[in-house]
Structure 1
């Protein structure tokens, strides 16, 4: 998409997706500026490094006469004064998903969808496409985080694009997609979907909308994803259908080897190690390989984008698959996905975005495998009161797996829901206390950040993990906790 003549103003620019979009637009040649709250977020540094000016607040005066389009986070409604000002000035106005929908029409577009694992799978797929082609594959990627070694948007050209596609409010139904990978389907976003059946119906509509002759890839280990594949077999005979997983039939069945490595049924003699341990994360990495393979082989001349050692042979599938799999070991991980921030005083500080019970279980499993002799203190910031109430029992059961827990106030995001005025942290605390029973695990509620810092600082000991967790903004607490512990020495 040609953006060299565009001056883009992004409202809510500090959100992970919005910040990555801002950097991508810069790489595409646009002039970019934006605004957001004063609070410091994970994305502040990348925006600063990218040379993007961020205005504080949402004053309509921020909107200069040079803006040719305004893109706003879906967390903000059109009645926001600055958005009203854009409308009054007849400046083209898009929500984040609306602009992604526009981008998706400009080239062959592929996406990762699913309740969990979208960001990791998209990031890994983008990484291995980039590395396997030595930077020559003309694609770009846009998703809700960034790889740990990535300081700028991943933009190598615009022959095709890779997106993270979220089901919330049916956003992904507006995208024009040639192919999609579905990681799993589970009930989430209770402020929009009434039940699991409503979520499943949304994914079926996604399959209905795929480009003719396109592709659907699913994880066979997930029951609802398998059901979606069956639906596609009945209704979309034009699609290429692929499945992967520990139970998948065909070439992409994952085999566990005695030495803790893995193989695929396509290449049983080729073993590979992964930097992740939790089953869900292994699935995300292999799904990324299948997606990258499918995208690459969907191009008219895939040979042009491969390293010499990966030139296409008579055995196309194993040749390209082995090349892509060889890049997995160099994937550095994603920001805020079991990300190790620091180690000080015998404590490892970790940040993780998990905000759904299933994600919490996966993250704690991964960290327990990586640090088998360490105890886990979780500082959990609930995100959206409606989600907390809908999954209260499951949240309690998942969080009870930690060795110690501090519950913070429900994050007051710009996205409102029917329970927004109610802080559900007290309900969650009570449910967790019931779940842990008489085990003696310490559990407490912290009314504010300072209380959380002091309590965590007092509880932590050597060989503990301190995990800031949730979709809120508690990541900055780690350095403050470390400083508080130093003050106790």
Structure 2
């Protein structure tokens, strides 16, 4: 498929974080863009402000006539859309060019020097740091991010087309559509078992991804993963490593060792050892193509962050409110480690919204164990996303498994009073569902209450 021959681009699921970045890209290169999404969100509102026509009902009649031209229309859909979707069926049955988001990313990036970040955790933060480092070194890049970068105030960056930064998503084996020049694998924990069926199949897919590198490509892997590549880690044995860590006023200060030199007194402001690893991975990736190690290290200090990745909403002496996207037991443990390190000896309440029935079922014991570490737990109902309910898989079931007496199942409407009753010094909201839409309301009401 030649994108030059495409005039109309129609998105099914346009409001998704990855899909909306692609929609912005096509809008910025002067394509005619429209789409469907089932929910009106701030991302959808932003796209509408760009002049993109979006409707919220699955109806072929609502598709603008321009996008019913087979010859010059590309249809992009997210795997989260069911096969029974009327609009998707219409395009499929009538011979349109219909592609998944990952396929289109592969087409866009094949003529660029492609950086691809893979892993079950850390993709969005690592790719956002990488985009920031490249911009700070005046590297011409396009970036498709899985979150809103606070440095760019967007999930899409267009500073040129010579280099590209993408998240290599393992869901639905999407990352096998890419052919990166520099790739990184941050983690290979079990996830998406509804797709893969077993931990072994997930690890196999990451091995398959590693083989997708261009002939002279370079693979970076977190030290300890069962893959051969350039290693990074918080230990002296890695090719890229961080040593001599100290914390001053919430900022990490450390030495960064590369295969060639040691960079002293590097600074990084995002809390948590997991974020230190994300920053190191981004630095190591950038260093494979950009020969400015000191400038790359300096740029780490100015990285602002990603919305919903350990994002401070309120930071006062007597009360701290943090929001995070964590939706896997490993991620919850990483958030707990970061909170404990940055706010020691504080009473911490967590509000968690489980994401997907299948993930809750697959990792219920891990969720129970990681959540029990907090001083108080408020649990919301499971956010179903693309799934139908699974009998017996409920938040009540999860709650019963949490070995902590200070726990409660709550409705969103009860959150403010439930939070107040736990008397937290630190509040953490977590989850990949629509809990993020509650954050601004909680911030206002909790600020007023305090």
TM-score, normalised on structure 1? 0.82
1:54 aligned residue: 54
Partner residue in 1 for 2:14? 13
| Cα distance in 2 between the residues matched to 1:280 and 1:262 | 15
Quote the residue 2:407 is aligned against: 443
Q: Deviations over 1:25-57 (max 9, x none)?
A: 2223323222212353x5245435534333122
In the superposition, relative to structure 1, how do residues 467 and 4 fare at CA in structure 2: closer, same or farther (>3 Å)? farther
Change (3 A) 1:343 1:268: closer
Contact 2:314/2:443 (CA < 8 Å) preserved in 1? no
Higher percent of residues as strand: 2
User: What does residue 335 of structure 1 align with?
Assistant: 307
Partner of 1:466: 427
Shift of 1:228: 0.9
Distance in 2 (alpha carbons) for counterparts of 1:109 and 1:488? 48
- Structure 2 gaps of 5+ residues are 68-72
1:265, distance to aligned residue in structure 2 (A): 2.5
* Preserved CA contact (<8 Å) 1:246 1:253: yes
The yes-or-no answer on 1:402 pairing with 2:374 is: yes
Q: CA deviation at 1:264?
A: 2.1
> What is the deviation of 1:3?
5.9
Write the distance in 2 (CA, Å) between the matches of 1:345 and 1:264.
32
| 1:253 match | 241
Aligned residues: 437
Q: For residues 151-207 of structure 1, what are the alpha-carbon distances to aligned partners after superposition, in whole Å with 9 as ceiling and x for unaligned?
A: 342012222311101112211112222231111111111112232221111111112
Q: 1:277 aligns with which of 268, 271, 275?
A: 271
Q: Distance in 1 between matches of 2:217 and 2:152?
A: 30
2:219 paired residue number: 216
Partner of 1:158: 161
Q: Deviation at 1:59?
A: 1.6
- Aligned counterpart, 2:184: 181
Kindly indicate whether the alpha-carbon contact (under 8 Å) linking 1:139 and 1:159 is maintained by their aligned counterparts in 2.
yes
Out of 109, 121, 126, which is 2:126 matched to? 121
Secondary structure of 1:158's counterpart equals coil
CA RMSD of superposed structures (Å): 2.6
Is the Cα–Cα contact under 8 Å of residues 263 and 294 in structure 2 kept in the other structure? no
2:227 maps to 1:228: yes
Distance in 1 separating the partners of 2:5 and 2:415:
46
Residue 96 (structure 1) aligns with:
101
Q: Does 1:292 align with 2:286?
A: yes
Alignment of 1:24-423 (within 5 A): 24-40=25-41, 43-67=43-67, 68-133=73-138, 137-152=139-154, 153-220=156-223, 223=224, 225=225, 227-229=226-228, 241-247=229-235, 249=237, 251-257=239-245, 261-266=253-258, 267-268=261-262, 270-296=264-290, 320-342=292-314, 347-372=319-344, 374-414=346-386, 416=387, 420=390, 423=393
